[in-house]
């Protein structure tokens, strides 16, 4: 009987200690610079979530415009609520006075 070989998944490949150019580029792309980004500005939560979308006009759904507008408005309000909750958790929600100080 011959001795059974280990599968390639369990074999350890030794590191030579040198990086190829492709590995350096890959590392630079995924890790970026070592500097931390600047603190982002505070955000204001909007009262009119669908104002930009509403300015485009109603959805081209013949006979269903009112129902579609209702559901679209609900989705926009929910997205603003979730985004503002996330911003509040990160302490990024600002007041109107914060913008005037800059």
Of 26 and 17, which is predicted with more confidence? Answer: 26
* 75 within some domain: yes
Amino acid 78: pLDDT: 94
* 5 within some domain: no
Amino acid 4: pLDDT: 66
Question: Which H or E run includes 24?
Answer: helix 21-31
* 69 within some domain: yes
51-67, pLDDT tens digit by residue? Answer: 888 888 888 888 888 89
**Structural contact between residues 8 and 42, judged by C-beta atoms closer than 8 angstroms:** no
* 33 within some domain: no
B/e letters for 51-61, b = 16+ CB within 10 Å, e = fewer, are eeeeeeeeeee
Q: Is the pLDDT of residue 88 over 60?
A: yes
Amino acid 29: pLDDT: 84
Rounded Cα distance between 32 and 26, Å, is 10
Q: Which residues pair with 50 in a beta bridge?
A: none
* 44 within some domain: yes
How many domains does the chain divide into?
1
28-53, pLDDT tens digit by residue? Answer: 888 876 676 677 788 888 888 888 88
Rounded Cα distance between 28 and 96, Å, is 39
Residues ≥6 apart with Cβ < 8 Å to 94: 41, 42, 43, 44
- Could you tell me which of 44, 47, 46, 49 has the C-alpha nearest to residue 74? 49
Residue 50 lies in domain: 40-101
**% the chain with pLDDT above 70:** 73
pLDDT averaged over the chain?
A: 79
């Amino acid at each position: 009987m011959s001795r059974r070989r280990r599968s390639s998944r369990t074999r350890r490949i030794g590191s030579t200690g040198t990086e190829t150019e492709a590995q350096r580029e890959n590392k630079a792309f995924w890790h970026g610079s070592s500097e931390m980004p600047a603190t982002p500005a505070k955000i204001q939560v909007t009262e009119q979530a669908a104002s930009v979308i509403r300015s485009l006009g109603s959805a081209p759904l013949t006979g269903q415009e009112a129902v579609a507008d209702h559901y679209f408005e609900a989705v926009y309000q929910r997205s603003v609520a979730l985004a503002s909750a996330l911003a509040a958790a990160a302490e990024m929600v600002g007041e109107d006075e914060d913008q005037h100080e800059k």
